[in-house]
């Protein structure tokens, strides 16, 4: 969560991710966070163990930025009945022109009746901070979660992508809540 710095040392990381797949748009991945020991609802996405990695303050800020983006994405596709698209919040997390592109993609997903349900697992593998640039590499696994096309009768579950290596690139943004904004995301191969 934003502004929450856990103690150093080996710790499990819990995270929310939202992801959907459209043939035309490809993967739109969501993110991760460190988590306090709080109950997890049955349909809440979960993060895997970070293999005992120790993150420093800057790395945690990068993780927090991606987590906040993923929270935004999950909320945008939480219900097809009353879709929400909070571009102001997205622009606080994602740099332009990427924010506008993401907003358009999510708007298309909303208009086709996509709704996210179930559990997705996201495991950060590497976070690199180099001056005013950062990279977060993770493994995303949506096999236990569901993205549902609610407009199909009967509803159709979108086939999940295989576990995928996903890389977020970020740039320093001192005015942003975490000090970072996402400026790109790529998926490359299986985890």
pLDDT tens string 110-152? 999 999 886 666 779 999 999 999 999 999 887 877 889 999 9
Does any domain span residue 8?
no
CATH, residue 142: 3.10.450.50
Does any domain span residue 2?
no
Query: What is the spatial order of strands in the sheet that 114-118 belongs to?
Result: 114-118, 145-149, 156-158
Does any domain span residue 6?
no
Q: CA 24, CA 70: separation in Å to the nearest integer? A: 21
Does any domain span residue 13?
no
Q: Which of 180, 190, 146 is nearest to 20 (CA)?
A: 146
Does the pTM surpass 0.85? The reply is: no
Does any domain span residue 75?
yes
Does any domain span residue 7?
no
Structural domain boundaries enclosing 168 = 20-190
The radius of gyration of the chain's CA atoms, rounded to the nearest angstrom, is 16
| Overall number of domains in the chain | 1
Query: What are the tens digits of pLDDT across the range 53-92?
Result: 689 999 999 999 988 988 888 888 888 888 889 999 999 9
Does any domain span residue 121?
yes
Does any domain span residue 30?
yes
């Amino acid at each position: 969560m934003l502004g929450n710095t856990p103690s150093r040392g080996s710790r499990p990381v819990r995270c929310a991710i939202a992801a959907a797949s459209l043939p035309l748009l490809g993967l739109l991945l969501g993110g991760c966070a460190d988590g306090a020991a709080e109950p997890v609802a049955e349909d809440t996405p979960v993060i895997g163990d970070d293999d005992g990695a120790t993150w420093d303050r800057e790395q945690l800020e990068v993780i927090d930025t991606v987590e906040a983006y993923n929270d935004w994405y999950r909320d945008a596709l939480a219900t097809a009945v009353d879709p929400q698209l909070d571009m102001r919040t997205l622009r606080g997390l994602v740099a332009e022109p990427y924010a506008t592109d993401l907003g358009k993609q999510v708007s298309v997903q909303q208009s086709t009746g996509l709704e996210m349900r179930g559990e997705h697992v996201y495991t950060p593998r590497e976070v690199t901070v180099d001056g005013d640039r950062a990279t977060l590499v993770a493994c995303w696994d949506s096999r236990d979660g569901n993205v549902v096309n609610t407009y199909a009768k009967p509803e159709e579950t979108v086939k999940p992508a295989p576990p995928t290596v996903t890389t977020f690139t970020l740039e320093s943004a001192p005015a942003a809540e975490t000090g970072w904004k996402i400026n790109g995301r790529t998926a490359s191969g299986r985890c």
